[in-house]
Amino acid sequence: MPQLIEKPQRDWLFKVTKQNSKQPERDQCLLAFFFGSACSTLEINRIQLKDVLSKSGKLTKLYTVRGAEREFYLSSERLREYLNQYLTYRVKNRIGLGNNPDQYRSLDPDTALFYSYQNRSFSIVRKHTSAGSDSYSCDALNRHIKMLLRNAGTESPSVLSGRRAFAVELHRQGYDIAHIHYMLGNKTLETTHKLLIQ
């Protein structure tokens, strides 16, 4: 089971990240999506700027998770705050600028939301499985998230800890398993049940 990172630990993680990260605006926003969106790291990596930002420059209310059959509502004020800070940072540092300064805050809507230190999107790798199908992974982003967790003292950093924290928080608030299962987008109900074991 991935480690359950409780709220005091998450608060500490955001504090450490703000103080120590080379790009705190990006990394705090990344952690906000990691813990607050129910998206897998691959789904986070697939977010494009136009998913979360309208042409007018305002944050969208929701977006469809790419590669999934569900929507995510950008309703968390804390997540929206981190997202605005990161987008301001991108504009200031001219990261992924578009061709129209009057649209999308002058950013290119077809670029990835999250950029690596090299100012390009984190890579997605296609792998051919022994069963004859293709699978996709985002190893670079996974390593980066684990590093952020490790830097804040998480003993066994896991890219599933965010989804587990999200699921457990909803369960504690009284949401039923079916609702949590839909938000996570898991293939089996058993997987969702396992994440809720405390």
Question: How large a percentage of the chain has pLDDT more than 70?
Answer: 99
Domain presence at residue 160: yes
Question: How large a percentage of the chain has pLDDT more than 90?
Answer: 80
The arithmetic mean of pLDDT across residues 145-150, rounded, is 97
Domain presence at residue 85: yes
Q: What is the mean pLDDT of the chain?
A: 93
Domain presence at residue 198: no
Residue 108 above 70 pLDDT? Answer: yes
Residue 180's domain comprises 7-193
Instruction: Provide the domain count of the chain.
Output: 1
Which one is predicted more confidently, 134 or 64? 64
Residue 57 above 90 pLDDT? Answer: yes
> Could you give the CA distance from residue 136 to residue 125 in angstroms, rounded to a whole number?
6
Domain presence at residue 2: no
Domain presence at residue 24: yes
* Per-residue exposure over 139-177, b if at least 16 CB sit within 10 Å of its own CB, e if not: eebbebbbebbebbebeebbbebbbbbbbbbbbeeeeee
Strands (DSSP E) contained in the chain are: 62-64, 71-73, 125-128, 134-137
> Could you give the CA distance from residue 88 to residue 67 in angstroms, rounded to a whole number?
28
Domain presence at residue 130: yes
153-190 residue pLDDT tens: 999 999 999 999 999 999 999 999 999 999 999 989 99
> Could you give the CA distance from residue 185 to residue 183 in angstroms, rounded to a whole number?
6
Domain presence at residue 25: yes
Contact 66, 124 (CB under 8 A): no
Q: For position 147, which CATH number holds?
A: 1.10.443.10
Residue 68 above 70 pLDDT? Answer: yes
- Residue 186 CB contacts under 8 Å (≥ 6 apart), including other chains: 192
Contact 173, 162 (CB under 8 A): no
> Could you give the CA distance from residue 168 to residue 156 in angstroms, rounded to a whole number?
18
Q: How confident is the model at residue 198 (pLDDT cuts 50, 70, 90)?
A: low
> Could you give the CA distance from residue 154 to residue 158 in angstroms, rounded to a whole number?
9
The arithmetic mean of pLDDT across residues 41-70, rounded, is 95
Domain presence at residue 137: yes
The arithmetic mean of pLDDT across residues 21-38, rounded, is 96
